[in-house]
Structure 1
Amino acid sequence: MNRNQVLPQVQLSADPSALKRVDFCAPQSFKGAGFLSILELPRLAEEASTVVPGDGFNWNVETHFEGSPGSDPLQILELGLKGRLHLVCQRCLQDCSVDLAEQRRFILVSTEAEADDYPLEDEEQEPLVVSQQFNLLETIEDEVLLSIPLIPKHPEGFCEPHASVFGDDEGEAAADERENPFNILKNMKKN
């Protein structure tokens, strides 16, 4: 490919079915943006505690070629995600809205072997194996799933711990009345 060659830029459709088959192998760059509701991302919908109208993710994608002298240019994919979903707060066990905003950068490779050979130290970009029928919708959903906090919870002061998680007052009083098993050792030391 000639370095001075200007590649055509293809506008990606925001239709979820069109995102399931993008030809990233073609010598062109891509640009697109849109909104995906939670219901259009089935694995994410399983994680959500409730689906509220308007919950979902704005996405934007842009690819370009970067090269260094003496080597073939590398195709780079920039992915931006911003949105909201509802999860169960692990402090109060009630619904809690979680806002996510992510920027990801991928280097597009054509084989699994190229991806395996990519240096692990490069934390700024990850290899992504592409094909003529690449499922961009699945990649967007994967990145949202990876962005979900392990322990979702409301901000400090917005909820109280649920009684079944930490016990109630009656349970604490019964625990205090139970005899400490180490009291026997304490009495043995006195004798």
Structure 2
Amino acid sequence: MPKRFVIADVIDFARNAGRHHGKIPVSEFERLRDYLVDRGGELAYTLEGALDESARPVVRMVVQGLLSLRCQRCLEAIGRKLELRSVLLLARDETELCRLNEDEALDVILAEPDLEILKLIEDEIILDLPASPRHAEGTCTIGGRDGGGMDRSSPFLALSQLKMKMLH
């Protein structure tokens, strides 16, 4: 079971320029596991509370490390350096959250009591991941070689050949 890191009062954390940092093993992120080939390593994070230029409470987040994602072309590992920087505006209640979310330039979260740092960081990482991670064009190894010797001119060529063998 993952460790539970919480900020009891995140608005107070922001107002008092709180700071929290540490390292979290990648294996602790339960929802992130589906995106990964390897769950080893750890991510370093820093959370800093502050007031923005309009005196609104914010949390500045930095997360750094290396993730081993699954290439959607060849299904092999692809290393992705994570250098995540976010500024999250804190809404005091649902009404303020709805109002602030109208501005698409703002990243707004609800200032819940006992804010779970692990979940907050995991949410931001998942939002930052590419929709379909892939190696650079021409670098995937499908079937041991780039392209695996498959005839790319017709994706159904292998199926056609199999059908011919079955008929004869």
TM-score bin (small chain):
0.7 to 0.9
| CA apart distance, 1:143 | 0.4
Judge which range, 166-175 or 40-49, deviates more: 166-175
2:33 match: secondary structure: helix
Contact in 1 for aligned 2:69/2:79 (Cα 8 Å): yes
CA RMSD for the aligned pairs? 3.1
Structure 1 residue 132 corresponds to structure 2 residue 132: no
| CA apart distance, 1:16 | 4.4
**Bigger Rg, which one:** 1
Q: Deviations over 1:22-72 (max 9, x none)?
A: 3213352211221111111111123212223x2x3211111112354xxxx
Equivalent runs, 1:109-188 vs 2, <5 Å: 109-118=91-100, 120-123=102-105, 125-161=106-142, 168-169=150-151, 172=157
| CA apart distance, 1:146 | 1.0
Structure 1 residue 66 corresponds to structure 2 residue 47: no
- Structure 2 residue corresponding to 1:50, chosen from 34, 38, 41: 38
Which residue number corresponds to residue 27 of structure 2?
39
Identify unmatched segments of 5+ residues in structure 2.
162-168
What is the distance in 2 between the residues matched to 1:151 and 1:131? Answer: 32
Identify unmatched segments of 5+ residues in structure 1.
1-14, 177-191
| CA apart distance, 1:168 | 3.1
Which residue number corresponds to residue 9 of structure 2?
23
% identical aligned pairs: 23
What is the distance in 2 between the residues matched to 1:34 and 1:173? Answer: 52
Instruction: Please report the TM-score for the alignment, with normalisation by the length of structure 2.
Output: 0.75
Instruction: Please report the TM-score for the alignment, with normalisation by the length of structure 1.
Output: 0.67
Task: Give the count of matched residue pairs.
Answer: 154
- Structure 2 residue corresponding to 1:85, chosen from 67, 78, 81: 67
Task: Write 1 or 2 for the structure with the bigger share of strand.
Answer: 2
